[in-house]
Amino acid sequence: NAGVMQNPRHLVRRRGQEARLRCSPMKGHSHVYWYRQLPEEGLKFMVYLQKENIIDESGMPKERFSAEFPKEGPSILRIQQVVRGDSAAYFCASSRGEKLFFGSGTQLSVL
Amino acid sequence: SQQGEEDPQALSIQEGENATMNCSYKTSINNLQWYRQNSGRGLVHLILIRSNEREKHSGRLRVTLDTSKKSSSLLITASRAADTASYFCATDAGGNTNAGKSTFGDGTTLTVKP
């Protein structure tokens, strides 16, 4: 069981470009959560998805951000027209019961 | 202050000493969880304590929960250099059946000197 897999580990984008972050949950898990972590801060919930459905996106900015979890393949967090303020670590987690299992994150740097 | 707020923000101790971190929260909860994060890595689940529990142990970890004070503490006994990490508490609010939508504090950074 490979655990929650995220890629890339590091992503550098220039302002205005698009960022695509991928997450494959643990085998057998069908729930995926995305969190954002700014330096020296805790994780902030962004969005909760099940296969082909967005269950809760209350923590996701209304513009430029979108997420999907297709029937086949990884979950994708997409950030369009990135700005410097989007620079952060983005973590994905999948759940079994009440426990969350986190990936190693994608560090997004916007130049 | 925010839900799931830890203190101190930073703690530095010698190997072998005990480390105590505290977490306060504002709203009613179903459970409270502690996580550990090594630098540049994801969070690792340490321990879950339910709202009807007062104390829980796991190896060198001891967690207490006081719902009347809306606070929890994490004690790491006989600390090791490998315990150096950031520790976060996360609350799962009462009535919230979405386990992943926990609210995390800003963490306590623990440094254990060899």
Q: Which residue did the predictor score with more confidence, A108 or B28?
A: A108
Residue B48 CB neighbours (<10 A): 19
A109 shares contact with chain B (CB less than 8 Å): no
Q: Which of A41, A93, A104 sits opposite B100 (nearest CB)?
A: A93
Judge whether B87 is closer than 8 Å to chain A, CB to CB.
Answer: no
Of A6, A48, A107, the CB nearest to B101: A48
Does B81 reach chain A within 8 Å, measured CB to CB? no
Contacts of A100 in chain B (CB under 8 A): 43, 45, 99-100, 102
Task: Report the alpha-carbon distance of residue A86 to residue A67 in Å, rounded.
Answer: 15
Q: Give tens-digit pLDDT for B45-71.
A: 999 999 999 999 999 999 999 999 999
A91 touches chain B (CB under 8 A): yes
Q: What is the pLDDT of residue B105?
A: 87
- The tokens describing A25, both together, are 């949950």
Whether the CB-CB separation of A51 and A30 falls below 8 Å is answered with yes
Q: For chain A, list residues with pLDDT below 70.
A: 1-2
- B44/A contact by beta carbon, under 8 A: yes
Q: Which residue has the higher pLDDT, B4 or B97?
A: B4
Calpha distance B107→B61 (Å, rounded)? 17
Backbone φ, ψ for residue B97 (5° rounding): -90, 0
- State how far the Cα of A11 lies from the Cα of A9, in Å rounded to an integer: 7
- Cα angle at A45 between B34 and B61, to 5 degrees? 5
What pLDDT band is residue B1 in, cutting at 50, 70 and 90? very low
Chain B residues with CB under 8 Å of A91 CB are 42-43
B71-76 and B85-93 beta bridge pairing: unpaired
pLDDT tens figures, B67-100: 999 999 999 999 999 999 999 999 886 555 555 6
Rounded Cα gap, residues A63 and B21, in angstroms = 37
CA distance A41 to chain B (A): 4
- DSSP for A52-102 reads TEEEE-TTS-SSSEEEE--SSS-EEEEE-S--GGG-EEEEEEEEETTEEEE
Of all residues in chain A, the one with the smallest CA distance to B92 is: A98
**Residue B106, pLDDT score:** 87
Number of helices (H), then strands (E), belonging to chain A: the values are 0, 11
Residue B3 has pLDDT above 60, yes or no: no
